[in-house]
Each structure stands twice: as C-alpha cells, then as structure tokens.
Amino acid sequence: MSIENTGSIPFYVTWIGIHFQWEREGYFFQIDYSSSPVYLDVGEKKSLGAIQFEVFDTAVPGENSYYLEIDYAWYSDGEFIEDSWNTETFRLTVVEPLTVSWEIQEETSTFTMGESLHYLLTVKNNMNTDVKIVSYGIRADWLPKDMYEFVNVNKVVPPGSEEKFGPTEFKISRTAEEKWYNCSVIIEYQYMKNGGWTQIKIYKPTMQYGIEVVREESFISRFKEILGFVGAALSVIATIITLKEKLKRK
C-alpha cells in the first residue's frame, strides 16, 4: 500500500487496517504505526508496506467485499487532531481450496451385484500454498450413512498444480437392492501453514454419478434360456425334416 498527501497540511498515518466480508464487524488485518507514525508532507507519497491476510474457512465462495480504514492525525493550533477515513468498497473472488472432477471409467451405468466399477479423480490446488491430499473415498447408499471406502495417498500438490488419482476400484455390494444409486466422493486434505500442516480438512465435490444395480442372472435361468433357444431351433429343424419327407412322398 502507498498513500499520497493531496491536502494542504502535513499529517501522520497512525494505523491502517483492511476488513474483509468474512471477518466479524470491527475486526481488521492491520499495521499499527502509533509508536512511529508515518509523516507525509503536502504532495508527498510514501509506501505503507504490505498487509498479509487470511481467507477464513467461513468465507463464502464467490464475490466478497473489503475496504481499508486509515487512522491519521495532524496539528492544528498546537493541538493534535485525530481522524479516520475509509476507502470505497472493493470486491475480490474467493474460490474453493480445491477443484475436483471425477468420472466413472466404465462406459455403462448399469452394474450387476458383486461387480466392480473404476473411478478417476483430478484434483487441482487453488491455494497459494502446498496442499497434501491425505486420502479420498467413494460411497453409494448401500453403505451406512456418511461411510466411504477410503484410499490413503498422502500426496503433495503444489500451488496451481493438479494431480490425478486412480483409476480406483469400487465393488458393488452383493446385498445391494436392484435400483439406482448416487455415487459421491470425498477428499481429506491438509495445507501448509506457518511451516507445518494444518489439521485434516474435508472437501466434498457436489458432482455425483448415478448407477443402476441389477441382479446377476443365475446359472439355472441362463441354462433355461439356452435350453429354450435350442428347443426352438430343434423344433424348426423337425418341421423342415417333416416337410422334406412329405415332398419326397409326393
């Protein structure tokens, strides 16, 4: 940040702060100059340094507002007068920490009980620090509520990079009902902060896949089908033979 005195008298900057929409009212990321105020003469421009800020987990993805507040003071008739000034409201866009896409590798959406499907995840790190993908998992509603089948990876994804995980096998339960199920995935991750990894955080992509589970045909039903086909074929052959015999007699 820098500031320029475009007024008619010198002044001192004593404090500057920046307030973001995701902070409680009255809270700022700040620099306190009160012990050593920054003096600006008329027409003078000075740098005020940089303020580092953090996007809280409570921030809503999308547009977020922010503004700067500056405390300053000047002398008038030997008296030190203090005042503050707020900038206009600015906006920035908050993105999700991760961008995750995933897909089921099979070309069909219908699976028999006991069969396996395979899925592939692509994870992009949108943060400006390293992210470690601790594990990822998949679930369908034949599993108990909030239960996933996890795969441990502990893979570090640098800022702005993306990494693929899989294809990973997911077996259809033999006790699943014959119906459509939604499949969803989950990612457990950490990110580097102050020289160490944060506690494990969870990210759930909104994208889901629908799969149909059907019962596998038994050997007996398949055998009956084969017998039916053979029986029909033999019946046709018998009819042809009978016709030949009749033609011969004629």
Is 119:185 a contact under the CB 8 Å cutoff? yes
Helix (H) or strand (E) holding 247: helix 219-249
Cis peptide preceding 159, ω within 30 of 0: no
Regarding whether 84 and 150 lie in a shared domain, the answer is no
Is 18:29 a contact under the CB 8 Å cutoff? yes
pLDDT in tens, 171-201: 999 999 999 999 999 999 999 988 999 999 9
Is 203:187 a contact under the CB 8 Å cutoff? yes
Other residues' Cβ atoms within 10 Å of the Cβ of residue 196:
7
58 versus 213: the higher-pLDDT residue is 213
228 versus 1: the higher-pLDDT residue is 1
> CA–CA separation, 135 vs 130, rounded Å?
15
Regarding whether 63 and 123 lie in a shared domain, the answer is no
Is 215:113 a contact under the CB 8 Å cutoff? yes
DSSP 85: E
Write down the pLDDT at residue 60: 84
Say which residue the tokens 């699943």 belong to.
176
Of 42, 63, 94, the residue that ends a domain is 94
Residue 61 maps to a domain: yes
Residue 235 maps to a domain: no
Residue 56 maps to a domain: yes
Say which residue the tokens 């990494």 belong to.
163
Question: Measuring CA to CA, which residue among 79, 86, 83 is closest to residue 12?
Answer: 83
Residue 241 maps to a domain: no
DSSP secondary structure string for all residues of 148-203: -EEEEEEEEE-TT-EEEEEEEEEEPPTT--SEEEEEEEEEEEEEEETTEE---EEE
Has this prediction a pTM greater than 0.85? no
Regarding whether 69 and 109 lie in a shared domain, the answer is no
> CA–CA separation, 131 vs 187, rounded Å?
12
Q: Residue 250 above 80 pLDDT?
A: no
Helix (H) or strand (E) holding 96: none
Write down the pLDDT at residue 29: 96
Burial of 94 (C-beta count, 10 Å sphere; 0-12/13-18/19+): middle
Write down the pLDDT at residue 47: 93
Counts for the chain of helices (H) and strands (E), in that order: 1, 18
Regarding whether 170 and 84 lie in a shared domain, the answer is no
Name the domain count of the chain: 2
Residue 170 maps to a domain: yes
CATH number of the structural domain spanning residue 133? 2.60.40.10
Write down the pLDDT at residue 220: 43
Say which residue the tokens 């400006």 belong to.
128
Residue 155 maps to a domain: yes
pLDDT in tens, 61-75: 889 999 999 999 999
Is 123:162 a contact under the CB 8 Å cutoff? yes
Write down the pLDDT at residue 143: 94
Q: Could you tell me the residue range of the domain that residue 136 belongs to?
A: 98-214
